[in-house]
Amino acid sequence: MNPDHISLHNKQFEPYLSAARLATAIEKLAAQLNQDYADKTPLFVAVLNGSFMFAADLLKALHIPCEISFIRVASYEGTSSTGKVQEVLGLTEEIGGRHVVILEDIVDTGHTMRMLLDTLGDKQPASLEVASLFMKPECLQHELSIRYVGLSIPNDFIVGYGLDFDGLGRNYPDVYKAV
């Protein structure tokens, strides 16, 4: 049973999206990807740490040959974006000529995604797309074309299902929003 409210550091959070709602969104994304990549073998590049649950559940729902790799970037401090993106752990696979799909937990300002699209695009993949579980359209500061979006949400600070507040909260199967 999931708690009615959670407390992380100095903040309170209330239930926002259930694990069942997340599973439905992921199933829809998987169906799109299964169709769009039916004749390809895409490389999924999951952005750590936040996307680990999303990436695991999405790949379990795919029925196409595919590979996965992980990169780590950071642009958050506490509850707000620093606006600076630092690549911490880079991609080791050769992606030239490959179909690449970046897996991200959430796109809000778009700083991280802009940097990733530019960096990976320079390596000349056959195609480069983004699949994000969450998107905050009102927060975008970059023009981005994100083909695969699980859920568009308002500008609420959320935790759970891989998303954290200063390291805490990733382990919850549901998503909570700050109150």
List 4, 36, 57, 108, catalytic entry: 108
The helix-helix angle for 19-36 and 52-60 (nearest 10°) equals: 60
Q: Is 129 helix (H, G, I), strand (E, B) or coil?
A: strand
Residues 6+ apart with CB under 8 A from 28: 150
Helical (H) or strand (E) element with 29:
helix 19-36
Confirm whether 36 is a catalytic residue: no
Q: Return d(Cα 25, Cα 27) in angstroms, integer.
A: 5
Question: Which active-site residues does the annotation give?
Answer: 108
